[in-house]
Amino acid sequence: MFIEGEELQRNYSLSTAANGREYRISVKREPEGRVSQHLHANVHEGDVIELYPPAGDFRLQPSNKPLVLISGGVSITPTLASDATRPVHFIHSARHGIGFDRSMLAQWLPADRDVDAYFLGPKSFMKAMTQHLKALGVPDVQCRYEFFEPASALE
């Protein structure tokens, strides 16, 4: 996006399932964010803007297993784009810190831990979710996450 002649690139998440014709993003207005300020002040519903196509590898894999979507803070946005037709368990943490504790997560997960778990949030939140899900019996291969910053290991 060009603002005052300068090309600025930012990553935003789709906030509704893609339909092949249009995309919807949701943008948190940041006080110091030039792009978010511009979008909120100057772009309106129905306006057309030039963007790069969606990228990233965080998409639902085909499965019949119950779906668990876990998000922390503003990372809730990509979970809104789910068009799943299977049972969905939605867990969101808006607290400061690394997120909710293991005992709370245990209460909210389905009793049968044979689920597909997708989680997003700050790195400390995702690290905690990785540890909690493993300890609660969700198979590692059924846990998926994506970074909004440069990727690194969560172990």
Give the chain's domain count: 2
Of 35, 55, 75, which residue is a domain's last? 55
Same domain, yes or no: 34 and 98: no
pLDDT of res. 148: 64
Same domain, yes or no: 15 and 48: yes
Domain enclosing residue 16, as ranges:
1-55
Whether the model clears a pTM of 0.85, i.e. scores above it, the answer is no
| Edge-first strand listing for the sheet containing 143-145 | 88-93, 67-72, 116-120, 143-145
Please indicate, yes or no, if residue 141 is contained in any of the structural domains.
yes
Same domain, yes or no: 88 and 36: no
Torsion of CA 146, 60, 9, 125, to 10 degrees: -30
- Once rounded to an integer, what is the mean pLDDT over residues 24-37? 88
Of 10, 34, 55, which residue is a domain's last? 55
pLDDT of res. 54: 73
- Tokens read off for 129: 């979710």
Same domain, yes or no: 41 and 111: no
Please indicate, yes or no, if residue 126 is contained in any of the structural domains.
yes
Closest C-alpha among 128, 29, 10 to residue 71: 128
Same domain, yes or no: 75 and 130: yes
- Tokens read off for 103: 């005992």
In this structure, the number of other CB atoms found within 10 A of the CB of residue 95 comes to 10
Confidence of residue 134 (pLDDT cuts 50, 70, 90): very high
Task: List Cβ neighbours of 20 (8 Å cut-off, separation of 6 or more).
Answer: none
Same domain, yes or no: 42 and 95: no
Same domain, yes or no: 26 and 4: yes
pLDDT of res. 86: 87
